[in-house]
Amino acid sequence: MSTGHLRGEVKTPQELYLVLGEADTSDLYAKSVKLDTSHDIPYAGGVSVDGKTVYIDRTLYTEVMSGKVKVRGMSPRQLIACWVEHEHTEKAIDDGDNPVDNYLAAHGFATAKEHESVEVVLGKGKTATYEEQIDKALKRCMARDPVDPPKDLWCGPYLDNPEPRDLELIRIFKAKGVKDAFKHSKADPKIGYGMGGRDCDDCAMYMNPDKESSECEIVCGLVRWNRNCLKWVERR
């Protein structure tokens, strides 16, 4: 969700739909997701590594459904739906075969999709007011140390260009057994993830070589078969 992470440029609707139309990105976006509200998510929303589950922080979800956190003109379920839309869009774009290969870039597109959903309910030009009304709740969420984060949480939002609070959260995630927290960011220059060179599916660390996207032993999230990184190791 947007004020859950204030970095990154919000994209225009035109830019959003161009990237959603790239290769298999639209297919990933079209897939249904399960909503899980039983875990602690510091950035308020998150996604499983495989993209099949969207997480909304359990305390924040309770606050929304009880009316403690609200946006004028939106029902609790409409508000949650906007956040789910953000998280699902973000992961589909990060995982899809398109020019976006890291969390921060995907975040800008996801915020554009979230804002589009908000304007469907509230009307054009209402996103700034919407952001103001959820800001304090999202900041409270970020300040809480996660007691029970999901073990399959995608950690790109915390690993890409981390700030001090992100580093604290990564340490907590590791202590709680969140698998992706032990891996490297795609944005890490020492990893050099992107196009060119030898394909990921020929690398020994590409864990599912029969699939177009797979978990990697050292890079967070899912990586694509036709990407490459500086840590490539020939599959024997």
DSSP 188-214: -TTT--BSSSS-GGGBTTBS-TTSSEE
Indicate if 160 and 226 belong to the same structural domain: no
Q: Is residue 2 part of a domain?
A: no
Residue 154's closest CA among 112, 95, 110, 227? 95
Q: Check whether residue 38 and residue 127 sit in a common domain.
A: yes
| Residue 4 in domain | no
* Same-domain pairing of 137 and 36: yes
Label residue 180 exposed, middle or buried (CB < 10 Å: 0-12, 13-18, 19+).
buried
The verdict on 172 and 119 lying in the same domain is yes
- Asked whether the predicted pLDDT for residue 119 surpasses 60, the reply is yes
* 176 and 207, same domain (yes or no): no
pLDDT at residue 196, as a whole number: 86
pLDDT tens, residue by residue, 16-68: 999 999 999 999 999 999 999 999 999 999 999 999 999 999 999 999 999 99
pLDDT over threshold 60, residue 3: no
Instruction: Classify residue 7: in a domain, yes or no.
Output: no
pLDDT (0 to 100) of residue 5: 53
| 136 and 219 belong to one structural domain | no
- End position of a domain, from candidates 182, 198, 227: 182
Residues 126 and 194 in one domain: no
Q: What is the pLDDT of residue 206?
A: 97
The verdict on residue 130 lying in a domain is: yes
Contact 93, 19 (CB under 8 A): yes
| pLDDT attached to residue 236 | 83
80 with 145, same domain?
yes
Do residues 169 and 133 both lie within one domain?
yes
Verify that 234 and 132 share a domain, yes or no: no
Please, what is the average pLDDT of the chain?
A: 94
pLDDT of residue 229: 95
* Biggest distance spanned by C-alpha atoms of the chain: 59
5: in domain: no
* pLDDT of residue 8 exceeding 70: no
Q: What percent of the chain has pLDDT over 90?
A: 92
Domain extent, residue 226, equals 183-236
Q: Is residue 52 part of a domain?
A: yes
Can you tell me which residue has the tokens 């604290």? Answer: 168
- Backbone phi, psi, residue 111, to 5°: -65, -35
Q: Which of 149, 134, 158, 132 is nearest to 58 (CA)?
A: 149
Q: Domain for residue 160, yes or no?
A: yes
Using the predicted structure, report yes or no on whether residue 1 has a pLDDT greater than 70.
no
Q: Tell if the pTM clears 0.85, that is, is over it.
A: yes
Both 115 and 193 in one domain: the answer is no
Q: For position 208, what pLDDT does the model report? A: 94
Cβ atoms within 10 Å, residue 184: 16
pLDDT of residue 2: 46
- Give the pLDDT confidence score for residue 80 in this predicted structure: 98
- Give, as one character, the DSSP assignment of residue 163: -
- How far is the C-alpha of 136 from the C-alpha of 86, rounded, in Å? 19
Q: Indicate the number of domains in the chain.
A: 2
Instruction: Identify whether the C-beta of residue 142 lies closer than 8 Å to the C-beta of residue 167.
Output: no
Last residue of a domain, one of 153, 182, 211: 182
In a domain, 68, yes or no: yes
Q: Tell me: the pLDDT tens digits for 167-202?
A: 999 999 999 999 999 999 999 999 999 998 899 999
174 and 188, same domain (yes or no): no
pLDDT tens, residue by residue, 77-115: 999 999 999 999 999 999 999 999 989 889 999 999 999
Q: What is the pLDDT of residues 193-225, one digit of tens each?
A: 999 889 999 999 999 999 999 999 999 999 999
Indicate the DSSP class of residue 185: -
